[in-house]
């Protein structure tokens, strides 16, 4: 290979294929002039790359512009969720219309039987539940009533006992009183008999 | 990179269906590259920003014409190239003065990053518009020669010619500087 400034520049700029690189590298190793030339080119490139990029003084951005925006039907057509929702609405409308338009198409026998069975089952279920609730309520009321009765009975017995104790004390006091009075009468009687 | 391409393709597809938000995401990914390409080409910040907005607006309006979404980068930069050259043709005298050329290419002492940056800007500004654009598309944007030919609407041989000449000119200015700085 002869000295070629163009080949050196293409080599420097990464424009040579792997196959074309090898002869250039071999030549540069052997040729001092080309080695110096390549070195200067590398220094030039390094100097150029030392120039830092500047920040953009103001951010460039675009606001929504109706001229470039798609039409409403294009937006719906291209939007997955919107299309899904629209499909669901159409499907629901179709089902409703089908229901209104063909009421007699439904078989008259099977649904009646099913309905009666269902009604009976519901009635049994409701009755069972009502009975259970009533029974529980009655049971609760009875328990509450019994507790109330016991409470009143205890209070009454206590009151009677208190009254009985009071009466007993009164009787004992009266008996003591009469006993003292009888003793005095007896002393007075004996004294009068001794005096006669 | 593969994922990024796929994502760009998805965004393009959504934007084509009228999703402005998807297009805004696409803009946010590319605006910095397009802005810097235009800034280095026209050399004026406000012009570059206005051009960037025009580029993305035109891209949006013509997005349905893009046959292969994988070619979006080249297609976008082709629009940017056309917009930039419309302005350059209109404002030729101003654009020539846009970049401060005070930094020379003299080799010498070690350069600080800001000096190097100014030296590169100065060296780029001394290239012709065609040469500078070839460097921008190749070195900064990484396009292949064939892609550059499509963007610039010219043969690959023309692309190579512009780029190689530009590299020789830049080398005269920048390589000695770097070599001196490295010593």
Q: What would the pLDDT profile of A82-109 be if each residue is shown by its tens digit?
A: 777 777 888 888 888 887 776 555 555 5
Q: Is the pLDDT of residue B183 over 80?
A: no
Residues whose CB falls within 8 Å of the CB of residue A169, separated by 6 or more in sequence, listed in order: none
Q: CA torsion, points B169, B113, B134, B101, in degrees to nearest 10?
A: -60
According to the model, what pLDDT value does residue B105 have?
Answer: 37
C-alpha B77/C-alpha A163 separation (Å) is: 117
Chosen for mutation from B27, B35, B175 (greatest number of chain A CBs closer than 10 Å) is B175
Residue B142: the pLDDT is 93
Q: Are residues B164 and A9 in contact, defined by beta-carbon separation less than 8 angstroms?
A: yes
Q: Specify the higher pLDDT residue, A108 or B161.
A: B161
Mean pLDDT of chain B: 83
Give the pLDDT band (50/70/90) at residue B90. confident
- By Cβ distance, the residue of B27, B28, B171 closest to A40 is B171
**pLDDT above 90 (res B146):** yes
Q: What are phi and psi of A150, to 5 degrees?
A: -60, -40
Structure pTM?
Answer: 0.57
Overall average pLDDT of the B154-171 stretch: 96
Q: Render B9-77 in DSSP notation, one character per residue.
A: HHHHHHHHTT-HHHHHHHHHHHHHHHHHHHHHHH--HHHHHHHHHHHHHHHHHTGGG-S-GGGHHHHHH
The residue ranking higher by pLDDT, A106 or B175, is B175
CA atoms within 13 A on the CB side of A177: 6
Q: Contact at 8 Å (CB) between B61 and A62?
A: no
Least CB–CB distance from B120: residue in A6, A50, A75: A50
Flag whether pLDDT at B110 surpasses 90: no
Does the pLDDT value for residue A59 go beyond 90?
no
The torsion of the CA quartet B71, B73, B79, B80, rounded to 10 degrees, works out to -170
> B43: which 2 tokens?
């050399």
Q: Verify whether the Cβ–Cβ distance A58 to B49 is below 8 Å.
A: yes
Q: At what angle do helices B72-90 and B145-152 cross, to 10 degrees?
A: 50
Q: What pLDDT, on the 0 to 100 scale, is given for residue B37?
A: 95
Q: Is B159 at the interface with chain A, CB within 8 A?
A: no
* pLDDT above 90 for B115: no
Q: How far apart are CA A164 and CA B2, in angstroms?
A: 108
The answer, for B79 touching chain A at a CB cutoff of 8 Å, is no
With contact defined as beta carbons under 8 Å apart, do B166 and B148 qualify? no
């Amino acid at each position: 290979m002869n000295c070629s400034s163009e080949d050196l520049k293409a080599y420097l700029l990464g424009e040579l294929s792997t196959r074309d690189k090898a002869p250039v590298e071999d030549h540069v190793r052997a040729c001092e002039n080309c080695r110096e030339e390549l070195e200067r080119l590398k220094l030039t490139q390094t100097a150029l790359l030392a120039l830092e990029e500047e920040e953009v003084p103001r951010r460039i951005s675009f606001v929504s512009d109706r001229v470039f925006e798609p039409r409403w039907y294009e937006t719906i057509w291209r939007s997955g969720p919107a299309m899904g929702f629209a499909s669901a609405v159409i499907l629901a409308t179709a089902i409703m219309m089908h229901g209104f338009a063909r009421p007699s198409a439904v078989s008259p026998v099977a649904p009646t039987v099913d309905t009666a069975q269902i009604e009976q089952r519901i009635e049994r279920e409701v009755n069972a539940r009502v009975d259970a609730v009533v029974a529980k309520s009655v049971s609760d009321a009875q328990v509450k009533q019994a507790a109330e009765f016991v409470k009143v009975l205890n209070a009454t017995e206590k009151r009677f006992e208190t009254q009985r104790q009071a009466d007993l004390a009164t009787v004992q006091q009266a008996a003591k009183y009469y006993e003292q009075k009888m003793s005095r009468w007896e002393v007075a009687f004996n004294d009068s008999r001794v005096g006669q | 990179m593969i994922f990024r391409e796929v994502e760009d393709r998805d965004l393009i597809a959504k934007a084509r269906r009228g999703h402005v938000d998807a297009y805004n995401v696409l803009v946010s990914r590319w605006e910095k590259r397009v802005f810097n390409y235009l800034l280095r080409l026209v050399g004026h910040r406000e012009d570059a920003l206005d051009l960037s907005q025009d580029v993305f607006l035109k891209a949006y309006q013509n997005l349905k014409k893009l046959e292969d979404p994988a070619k979006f980068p080249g297609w976008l930069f082709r629009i940017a190239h056309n917009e930039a050259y419309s302005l350059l043709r209109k404002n030729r005298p101003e654009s020539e003065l846009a970049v401060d050329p005070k930094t020379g290419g003299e080799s010498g002492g070690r350069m600080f990053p800001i000096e190097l940056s100014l030296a590169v800007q100065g060296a780029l500004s001394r290239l012709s518009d065609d040469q500078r654009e070839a460097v921008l598309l190749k070195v900064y944007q990484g396009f292949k020669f064939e892609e550059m030919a499509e963007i610039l609407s010219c043969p690959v041989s023309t692309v190579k010619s512009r780029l190689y000449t530009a590299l020789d000119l830049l080398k005269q200015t920048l390589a000695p500087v770097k070599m001196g700085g490295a010593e």
